[in-house]
Amino acid sequence: MLTLASDFGSPYPAAMKGVVLRESDARLVDVTHDLPRQDVRGAAFWLREVLPEFPPAVHLVVVDPGVGTDRAALLVRAGDHALVGPDNGVLLPPARELCARQDRDPDALDAFTLDPGDPASHTFHGRDVFAPWAARVHEAGVGNAAALDGVDPAGSYQDLQFPAPTVDGERAAGEVLVVDGFGNAVTNVPGTVLDGRYGGEVAVNGEPAPVRRAYARVAAGERLVTVGSHGNVELAVDQGRGDEAFGLSIGDSVRVER
Amino acid sequence: MLTLASDFGSPYPAAMKGVVLRESDARLVDVTHDLPRQDVRGAAFWLREVLPEFPPAVHLVVVDPGVGTDRAALLVRAGDHALVGPDNGVLLPPARELCARQDRDPDALDAFTLDPGDPASHTFHGRDVFAPWAARVHEAGVGNAAALDGVDPAGSYQDLQFPAPTVDGERAAGEVLVVDGFGNAVTNVPGTVLDGRYGGEVAVNGEPAPVRRAYARVAAGERLVTVGSHGNVELAVDQGRGDEAFGLSIGDSVRVER
Amino acid sequence: MLTLASDFGSPYPAAMKGVVLRESDARLVDVTHDLPRQDVRGAAFWLREVLPEFPPAVHLVVVDPGVGTDRAALLVRAGDHALVGPDNGVLLPPARELCARQDRDPDALDAFTLDPGDPASHTFHGRDVFAPWAARVHEAGVGNAAALDGVDPAGSYQDLQFPAPTVDGERAAGEVLVVDGFGNAVTNVPGTVLDGRYGGEVAVNGEPAPVRRAYARVAAGERLVTVGSHGNVELAVDQGRGDEAFGLSIGDSVRVER
């Protein structure tokens, strides 16, 4: 199985699919091609949420604002999974979570650089570098990929950590990491700060808002604070956009007071 | 075969795919993840149009504004097809049409509740409840699903009927059910009211408009009235947006006078 | 293998998938359903870029502003590949490129008309004409498709050529063919006019702009001129929209002076 994820929208993902299908007999699964555009951190957040649901697979991940520069091509092995993509940090959060779900040490990742060869373009390494490598890793098998010509242990690589929230008694502070398509503003504040407050209220950046377990527990159009499927505090509006109602964008600070 | 349909956009559908692939060897087919957001009736309309084209399959359908409330999880059997999703009516119109296409009584549906267990989240039952159940139904086979633990005959369930149009001699009245991506305003008025008028005109909400069998039968940018692929009256503009040209949104009344 | 490409967005592609799966056991691959809407030339450009990456396949292509008129249904054979879609030119540029990649004469295409039968609608031939034919061609095999009932050599067909740029010493002139989702304005000017200028500048419509091999070779938000993955001159902004920064839309003239 080979999954594909990118911020390409349309139609560039098709070129990657064609390359992979030409060079392997992998079963293809589209993860998404609408990752937050050029947003390495946001993309890593979503991939950390969704890739660990998959059975063992090679995951081709291309969110690559540095395409054509000298950033490396990377292979990261996470147990029975492999991730192939640019060395800009995007692979690391999902790789660590994939390890954790397999009861492996999330910090004992195997990372390798991939020889990019002489790619046909400087602007589309998804097609010219990463897709061919993902196909090769798939054909070799994740366990054998390290022995392939052009694969070398990575002396170092770009890591990416999400900002840590501050949790202090009755107060927590963090920021908006991503906004999903429904308009829910997803923060890095752990959902546990809402424990014991369901049915009541907290203050978000000083303004009171109801705490509910489900969107439809407030009237349509009303604001609420909940814990999203990722376990973090999420600022939402039932059948509306939480980002707008709370006036929050990616990177904005969020204080939650119980 | 297991099809997936939702209003999730990106990237949540990938989590459902991962769960299904982890728990079954189903062949996956994306129906769409851009169903009208939080619009149960509009989603049901489109699913009634497209699901009956498929060969026998398990159809995972998640348009679920009531996620996390006490609305049930439902399995509906429609001949050789099964639909799995929330008990909010969205499954019923496609299920009835699937029966009709198999020469079965559309009102003799088998509906079952599905034990939701103790889902990991209150906000993403697509991942935590419906995808696991769809995989289970697929693995058991549609014909055997009723015997699975946690599947019980539904005493009652939420139905959904589209509003009935009024057809009275030379006049028909209805409303806009959905607007498609091209901007065509699709009504519940049966296309038969246009019979004998092709090449001529009808009045739509009092304004005359040409009746044509194909969009390109008027000049680019001109309005027309036609019958869409669903058999209903559709208000369109050749290479433009009918909803804007006719000033119509979902739910708006439409009178057609011959 | 059967690929699907259209400008349908959602949810109409699902109807085509259902029809194909009902009538064949083809492996389906979504190319994209977000081709430039009703833009036959733009769609042909992108399909010329991506379809040649695929292994042998039947390619179902539906960008069809003339649906329901008397334009024919076409099958074009390009070596081991077949393309099925409307006779409006959209199939020809990818078909020629598919031939070229297989070391075949791009102008020795086999084109056939397909009997549309009596389609259920005048507005959705993707479902009613092209998908059934693509399934039939797949089942017969590309090499045998010409012998199917209803397939006849096309006496003539609609061709489509991209406008030719003018390259004259230190000057080249052309136009914007498409704008991609990142906002890159892709022209028909060959990228070779930038040779020897990387790291320096050219004038675009009289205004100087840096020439770089990769987007990130300028500061975020800055304009650049580069050669895209298609080999043509592309007007871009690092992490921004080139079309807006250069004030260019599809069809606009572009002069590049070295």
Torsion angle of the four alpha carbons C165, C180, C214, A12, in this order, in degrees rounded to the nearest 10: -110
Measured in angstroms, the CA of C63 and the nearest CA of chain B are apart by 12
Model pLDDT, residue C22: 97
Taking CA–CA distances from C55, the nearest residue in chain A reads A22
Measured in angstroms, the CA of C191 and the nearest CA of chain A are apart by 11
Model pLDDT, residue C186: 98
Model pLDDT, residue C116: 97
Model pLDDT, residue A108: 77
Q: Which two tokens stand for residue C83?
A: 């393309």
Model pLDDT, residue C90: 98
Choose, out of B10, B21, B62, the residue to mutate when testing the contact with A (most A CBs < 10 Å): B10
**Are the C-beta atoms of A177 and A249 separated by less than 8 Å?**
no
Q: Say if residue C34 is exposed, middle or buried (CB neighbours under 10 Å; 0-12, 13-18, 19+).
A: buried
- Average pLDDT for C164-188: 96
% of chain B at pLDDT higher than 70 = 100
Q: Is the N-terminal amide bond of B116 cis, ω within 30° of 0?
A: no
Contact flag A21-C1 (C-beta cutoff 8 Å):
yes
Q: Which two tokens stand for residue A219?
A: 């009237």
Of A9, A18, A124, which is closest to C229 when you measure between CB atoms?
Answer: A124
Judging contacts by C-beta atoms under 8 Å, the chain C residues touching residue A128 are 229
DSSP-assigned states of every residue in B191-247 = GGGGTT-TTSEEEETTEEEEB-SSGGGS-TT-EEEEE-TTSEEEEEETTB-HHHHHT
Judging contacts by C-beta atoms under 8 Å, the chain B residues touching residue A216 are 65-69
Q: Which two tokens stand for residue C89?
A: 């030119």
Query: Computed from CA positions of residues B40, B45, B48, B53, in that sequence, does the dihedral angle turn out positive or negative?
Result: negative
pLDDT tens digits for range A119-177: 999 999 999 999 999 999 999 999 999 999 999 999 999 999 999 999 998 999 999 99
- Average pLDDT for C25-48: 98
- Average pLDDT for C122-138: 98
DSSP-assigned states of every residue in chain C = -EEEEES--SSHHHHHHHHHHHH--PPEEEEES-SPTT-HHHHHHHHHHHGGGSPS-EEEEE--TTTTSSPPEEEEEETTEEEEEESSSTTHHHHHHHHHHTT--TT--EEEEE---S-S-SS-HIIIIIHHHHHHHHHH-GGGGGGSTTEEE-S------PPPPEEETTEEEEEEEEE-TT--EEEEEEGGGGTT-TTSEEEETTEEEEB-SSGGGS-TT-EEEEE-TTSEEEEEETTB-HHHHHT--TT-EEEEE-
Helix, strand or coil for residue A191? helix
The total of other beta-carbon atoms located within 10 Å of residue B170's CB is 11
- Average pLDDT for C121-144: 97
- Average pLDDT for B65-81: 96
C-alpha span between A62 and A84 (Å, rounded): 8
**Are the C-beta atoms of C132 and C68 separated by less than 8 Å?**
no
DSSP-assigned states of every residue in chain B = -EEEEES--SSHHHHHHHHHHHH--PPEEEEES-SPTT-HHHHHHHHHHHGGGSPS-EEEEE--TTTTSSPPEEEEEETTEEEEEESSSTTHHHHHHHHHHTT--TT--EEEEE---S-S-SS-HIIIIIHHHHHHHHHH-GGGGGGSTTEEE-S------PPPPEEETTEEEEEEEEE-TT--EEEEEEGGGGTT-TTSEEEETTEEEEB-SSGGGS-TT-EEEEE-TTSEEEEEETTB-HHHHHT--TT-EEEEE-
Considering the entire predicted model, what is its pTM? Answer: 0.97
Q: How many CA atoms lie within 13 A of B56 on its CB side?
A: 11
Of C9, C30, C127, which is closest to B181 when you measure between CB atoms?
Answer: C9
Interface contacts (A, B; CB < 8 Å): 94
Low-confidence ranges of chain A (pLDDT < 50): none
- Average pLDDT for C75-82: 97
Q: Across chain A, which distance is largest between two alpha carbons, in Å?
A: 60
Contact flag C14-B32 (C-beta cutoff 8 Å):
yes
Q: How many CA atoms lie within 13 A of A124 on its CB side?
A: 24
Of B32, B53, B214, which is closest to C10 when you measure between CB atoms?
Answer: B32
Query: Computed from CA positions of residues A31, A240, B40, B163, in that sequence, does the dihedral angle turn out positive or negative?
Result: negative
Interface contacts (B, C; CB < 8 Å): 96
Contact flag C229-A123 (C-beta cutoff 8 Å):
yes
Query: DSSP character for A21?
Result: H
**pLDDT for residue C40 is more than 90:** yes
Contact flag C21-B180 (C-beta cutoff 8 Å):
no
**pLDDT for residue B107 is more than 90:** no
Reported ipTM: the value is: 0.97
Model pLDDT, residue A79: 95
Choose, out of A17, A90, A229, the residue to mutate when testing the contact with B (most B CBs < 10 Å): A229
Helix, strand or coil for residue A144? helix
Model pLDDT, residue B108: 78
**pLDDT for residue C106 is more than 90:** no
Helix, strand or coil for residue A2? strand
Give backbone dihedrals phi and psi of C125, rounded to 5 degrees, phi first: -75, -15
Torsion angle of the four alpha carbons C59, C64, C67, C71, in this order, in degrees rounded to the nearest 10: -80
Helix, strand or coil for residue A163? coil
Measured in angstroms, the CA of B75 and the nearest CA of chain A are apart by 22
Q: Which two tokens stand for residue A236?
A: 């939402």
Contact flag C215-A9 (C-beta cutoff 8 Å):
no
Average per-residue pLDDT for chain C: 97
Length of chain B in terms of residues written? 258
The total of other beta-carbon atoms located within 10 Å of residue B40's CB is 20
Judging contacts by C-beta atoms under 8 Å, the chain B residues touching residue C121 are 227-229
**Are the C-beta atoms of B76 and B110 separated by less than 8 Å?**
yes
Residues 31-50 of B with CB under 8 A from C: 31-35, 46-47, 49-50
Of A21, A28, A123, which is closest to C228 when you measure between CB atoms?
Answer: A123
Residues 52-71 of C with CB under 8 A from A: 52-55
Cβ of residue A16 closer than 8 Å to a chain B Cβ: no
Q: Which two tokens stand for residue A131?
A: 């897709």
**Are the C-beta atoms of B60 and B32 separated by less than 8 Å?**
no
Predicted confidence band at C169 (pLDDT cuts at 50, 70, 90)? Answer: confident
pLDDT tens digits for range B197-225: 999 999 999 999 999 999 999 999 999 99
Contact flag A10-C52 (C-beta cutoff 8 Å):
no
**Are the C-beta atoms of A112 and A75 separated by less than 8 Å?**
yes
**pLDDT for residue B96 is more than 80:** yes
Contact flag A215-B68 (C-beta cutoff 8 Å):
yes
Of C32, C55, C239, which is closest to A14 when you measure between CB atoms?
Answer: C32
**Are the C-beta atoms of A177 and A162 separated by less than 8 Å?**
yes
Burial of C217-248, coded b for 16+ CB within 10 Å and e otherwise, reads bbeeebbbbbbbbbebbbbbbbbbebbebbeb
pLDDT tens digits for range B165-184: 999 989 999 999 999 999 99
Measured in angstroms, the CA of B7 and the nearest CA of chain A are apart by 9
**pLDDT for residue B121 is more than 80:** yes
Q: Is the N-terminal amide bond of C116 cis, ω within 30° of 0?
A: no
Place of tokens 């699919």: A17
**Are the C-beta atoms of B114 and B75 separated by less than 8 Å?**
yes
Contact flag B15-A53 (C-beta cutoff 8 Å):
yes
